[in-house]
Amino acid sequence: METQSLTGILLISFGTSHSETRKKTIEAMELEIRGAFPQYPVFHAWTSPRIIRKLKKIGHTIPTPQEALAKMLEQGIRRVLVQPTYILNAIENQLMKDWVNDFADKFDAISFGAPLLTSETDFHDVLQAVKQEFSPLDADTALVLMGHGSEHPANIAYKQLQDLCIASQYPNIFVGTVEASPSLDDILTELKSTDCRRVILAPLMLVAGEHAVNDMSGESPASWKNRLLANGYSVTPVLKGLGEYPDIRNIFIKHAREALNR
């Protein structure tokens, strides 16, 4: 991408209806992208129609990728870097690419930055960011991270991150998912073989939205918090999305920079 004045960055997120976490994560990410690349205009879009409709009813309008790309065309952008804020290169990321590529004949070039967990270095960097956030962990305390999970083969990333925790000698960090594997049942099995009696629960998701508020820390008997309590653990939920971690935002910026330099 040679001509800066004709290049634009499009930051794409799934979205969230929770305003507090949105400001601390998605909007914070956009601010950092603008700061890291002041020479490029930055646009944003969300991919969840349900959340977009929900916010529109209360007067908060968020563009879809198609609407954002149309606006970029109107403003004379000829080359587009799309940086997603997804965790995995899974179903959502593939759908987003399909939507964006429908505009391929309208721009001179479209490139894509990588999701969070893509390279081996990413896994190490994410683990270090999480470890730093919750360090030190007492010997009787486990950190349980809740990911979303996916039917896509990229879901293996959660097991890879768990394997890295073990290989890096962080045996008290456990990685699970709401909708796939590893599950909370898997984590409970592993927890029983440790001396941990306390559990810190945190989302392994960009935002602390519906899943973090309800599935992770909600009052339903099926929430991870209450299931852990029922198994005799002391539980502390932390409603802080990955997008609040400066080191995580830096990984996305690195991915955007790599894509711009390709």
Q: Does 211 participate in catalysis according to the annotation?
A: no
- Burial zone of 24 (CB within 10 Å; 0-12 exposed, 13-18 middle, 19+ buried): middle
Tell me if 128 sits within 8 A of 170, measured CB to CB.
no
CA dist 52 to 16, 45, 46, 56, 65, Å? 9, 10, 7, 6, 12
Of 18, 148, 211, 255, catalytic: 148
Using the 8-state DSSP alphabet, how is residue 253 labeled?
A: H
Half-sphere exposure of 260 (CA within 13 A, CB side): 20
Tell me if 208 sits within 8 A of 19, measured CB to CB.
no
- Dist. CA 50–CA 52, nearest whole Å: 6
- The two tokens of residue 142 are 């486990």
**What amino acid positions are annotated as catalytic residues?**
148
